[in-house]
Amino acid sequence: MQTLINILVLASIYALISCGYVLIYRVSRVLNLAHGEFMMLGAYGLLATASSFGAHPFAAVGVASVMALLVGVAIYFVLMRHMTGESVLAAVLCTIAVGILLRGLITLTWGAQQHYPMEQLGWVNSSISVFGDARISAASLGLIIATAVCYSGLFLFLRYTRWGIQMRAAGQNPLLAAQRGIRLNGIYALAWGLATFTGGIAGMLIACDSGLQTTIVTIGLKAFPATLVGGLDSLLGALVGSLIIGTAEVLLINYVDPLLSDVAPFFILLVMLIFRPWGLFGTREEIDRV
Amino acid sequence: MNKSLVTLALLAAGIGGTPWALAQEAYVVGLTGALTGPVAGTYAPVIESMKAYIDQVNLRGGVNGKPIKLLIQDNQGEPSKAAADAKKFLSQDHVVMVINSSASSTYAPVIAETKRAHVPLFFAGAVCPKEVFPPAEELQFCSTSFAAQYDSQMALAFIKETAKEPVKLGLVAMAIPVSRGEIDYAEGLSKTLGMTPVEKQIVPPPTPDYTPFSTKLKEAGANWVYSWAPWVTEIKTVEGLRKLGWSGRYIAWAHIQAEEDLARVKDSDFYVVGANALFQDNLPVHSEIREVAKKANLTYPVQQLAEGWVSGMVLEQALRATAWPPTAEKVLASMSSLKVDTKGLRGGPIEWTKSNHFRTQQYYRVWHWDTTKQAVTRVKDWTSYVVK
């Protein structure tokens, strides 16, 4: 049972990060390679608000979440909007530059030492007993719940709300969507905002569970194979891809060799790229365009 | 934004500097270190502390009436950058000593460059290469507190002394050569001490969740776990074990972050073995470090500064024993016969000889969190090992 819990926690981490990659790609066709840095920024945002609103932890989390959302919106309006009409490669390179800039700024501001936002919030990451002997930390449980809420929310949002439908339309055919009166800039900005919001939440929860250091950015990179395995333009794919990668990693640690867990995501990705490059649930045409 | 870190970054970028030192003839030393990048958490505090120490020495008039000009380059833990730094130091800055304070992957190119130029290379706060142990390679020296094999001998001796029941040992390393090598050594040693190694976990560095690794250790039935790895792996594994409700005892190497984290996790069964005195000892030298850290507004917590301070002491002493005008040969001669009083930061002096560039005696202490006193306390005082 503990193995199952471990798989669920790891898959939730990957899934929560992956949905940011998918949202941006699905709506604006940009592969955001700074997503790991946005996740890191969300975590450091919590660190900043925790020291400012230490007495009101929920306010600190709320403010940090709103900040994470606004960062995505701002990045779109300040930078990515100007990439309209440029090649996809230019936009991708732009996200790499943003990532390097963010990493540098965060290191200069907070240094390279380990921080513990949970402690600053005055919360204890207690161990909770579930299903007999199996245990889970409070922050890990939070991760699973946050992933479930985020994905359910996004499915409902994209299917039933006006903005969600507009977002899907903009993703499918931006020209036609614009001709039908959909304001593309607003929709793209919303997609960026939602992506940095979910990435930020992932960063905050990981930081609460095991501390925060600038190396957290590499976790963003580890989630990338999960996104590609599931399909770059499919939220369901991101969920399934994360589950596959998480399961493979935990089972390899448990039954084969822990060292293999590091290469397994990339091995699975390679196999997927050979046999089905658009991923399990991705759209074939989309990957051909990239 | 943190002023101290910005200053270090500017220095590393070659902007700024100390006008006083630049204006005069000085002992010029080059330091290539990981100020930023994935391993910066281990090395940046050492560099910051060493720079603060040297600034103090310069404020007091330098050594032999001359200032020490410490040139700092950020290699981000990357071998190619470290190589470029070493080349610059040796060909443009004509340094009399190169210091490496970075990941072991940066060693090979820096060693090659310093060998070519026949300039001494000092490892400060970075893992000591085997070449500094007897019989030492002519150009390499090390003041870092931790030492392969000796650390495990001490940790396992402590377990044997403390354990009242048969020891079922879990072992934890990070997937980097130096950590794996040490844990393999500890595994072999544990058998000779009558312990049963039940599980060995080699954790890859970018791990989002340590619980699966901890689960294996718990399920293997380990009642003691020993870890010799970068601090992130040591601390996250013990926290992972506790989250799973594991009630055994855990011992790890006391890296620079140990004192703060012992006080944070408040776990009396979590021991750290180390070679630097912790700040809870409150020695006069600790007060001095606190004062300097406050005055210079250093980035890192004061508890993390002892290692860099010791490196600064060694550097000062090596240059003090080098008559003006300095050359690499003169510095090498002084380093090959050096005795540094660490003012209690270590269990004894750091003594280098012609054949031993590590130290002749290595001293260890063991600490844990005392729940009664609600403080970090010593459970074993200085124990010495002769370095052969």
Kindly write down the DSSP assignment for every residue of B25-74, as one continuous string.
--EEEEEEE-SSSTTHHHHHHHHHHHHHHHHHHHHTT-BTTB-EEEEEEE
Residues of chain B found within 8 Å of residue A212, distances taken between Cβ atoms = none
Cβ–Cβ gap B201/A119 under 8 Å: no
A107 vs B: CB within 8 A: yes
* Distance (Å, whole) CA A31 – CA A39: 15
Q: Which domains does chain B have, with CATH numbers?
A: 3-146+281-362 (3.40.50.2300), 150-275+364-386 (3.40.50.2300)
* Distance (Å, whole) CA B171 – CA B226: 5
* Distance (Å, whole) CA A122 – CA A120: 5
For the cut 50, the answer to whether the pLDDT of residue A290 exceeds it is no
Question: The pTM is what?
Answer: 0.88
For the cut 90, the answer to whether the pLDDT of residue A259 exceeds it is no
Q: Where are the domains of chain A?
A: 2-215
Strand B375-386 and strand B361-370: the pairing is: antiparallel
For the cut 70, the answer to whether the pLDDT of residue B12 exceeds it is no
| Interface with chain A: mutation pick from B8, B243, B297, highest number of A CBs within 10 Å | B243
* Distance (Å, whole) CA B69 – CA B54: 9
pLDDT of B355: 95
Mean per-residue pLDDT, A14-40:
93
Interface predicted TM-score (ipTM): 0.85
A28 vs B: CB within 8 A: no
Cβ–Cβ gap A113/B2 under 8 Å: no
> A128-132, B148-152, B255-259, B306-310 — which is least confidently predicted?
A128-132
pLDDT of A200: 96
Cβ–Cβ gap A262/B175 under 8 Å: yes
pLDDT of B4: 53
* Distance (Å, whole) CA A26 – CA A234: 7
For the cut 70, the answer to whether the pLDDT of residue B2 exceeds it is no
> To the nearest whole percent, how much of chain B has pLDDT over 70?
94
Cβ–Cβ gap A112/B211 under 8 Å: no
| Interface with chain B: mutation pick from A103, A119, A215, A266, highest number of B CBs within 10 Å | A215
User: Contacts for A128-136 with beta carbons within 8 Å, 24 or more apart?
Assistant: A129/B245, A130/A1, A130/A5, A131/A1, A131/A5, A132/A1, A133/A1, A133/A2, A134/A1, A134/A2, A134/A4, A134/A5, A135/A2, A135/A5, A135/B243, A135/B244, A135/B245, A136/A5, A136/A9, A136/B243
For the cut 50, the answer to whether the pLDDT of residue A270 exceeds it is yes
Phi and psi for A76 in degrees, rounded to 5? -65, -50
How far apart are the CA of B204 and the nearest CA of chain A, in angstroms? Answer: 6
Cβ–Cβ gap A219/B212 under 8 Å: no
Which residue of chain B comes nearest to A105, CA vs CA?
B1
Helix (H) / strand (E) containing B97: strand B97-101
pLDDT of A63: 95
Which residue of chain A comes nearest to B233, CA vs CA?
A210
A28 contacts: CB under 8 Å, gap ≥ 6: A80, A170, A171, A188, A191, A192
Cα–Cα distances (Å) from A24 to A224, A284, B34, B90, in that order, read 13, 18, 34, 48
Q: Which residue among A6, A104, A259 places its CB closest to the CB of B211?
A: A6
Cβ–Cβ gap B211/A218 under 8 Å: no
Average pLDDT value for chain A = 91
* Distance (Å, whole) CA B35 – CA A111: 9
* Distance (Å, whole) CA A21 – CA A194: 10
Helix (H) / strand (E) containing B101: strand B97-101
Residues of chain A found within 8 Å of residue B40, distances taken between Cβ atoms = 107, 112, 214
Q: Where does the pLDDT of residue B9 fall: very low under 50, low under 70, confident under 90, or very high at 90 and above?
A: low
Please count the other Cβ atoms lying within 10 Å of the Cβ belonging to residue B199: 18
For the cut 90, the answer to whether the pLDDT of residue A1 exceeds it is no
For the cut 90, the answer to whether the pLDDT of residue B362 exceeds it is yes
Residues of chain B found within 8 Å of residue A248, distances taken between Cβ atoms = none
| Interface with chain B: mutation pick from A120, A204, A209, highest number of B CBs within 10 Å | A209
Peptide bond into B135 cis (omega under 30): yes
Q: Which residue among A135, A211, A214 places its CB closest to the CB of B244?
A: A135
How far apart are the CA of A270 and the nearest CA of chain B, in angstroms? Answer: 20
pLDDT of B15: 45
For the cut 90, the answer to whether the pLDDT of residue B22 exceeds it is no
Average pLDDT value for chain B = 92
> A250-264, B21-35, B174-188, B353-367 — which is least confidently predicted?
B21-35
Q: Which residue among B44, B204, B216 places its CB closest to the CB of A112?
A: B44
pLDDT tens-digit readout, A58-86: 999 999 999 999 999 999 999 998 887 78
For residue A196, give both structure tokens.
Answer: 């940095």
Cβ–Cβ gap A261/B257 under 8 Å: no
Cβ–Cβ gap B244/A13 under 8 Å: no
pLDDT of A238: 95
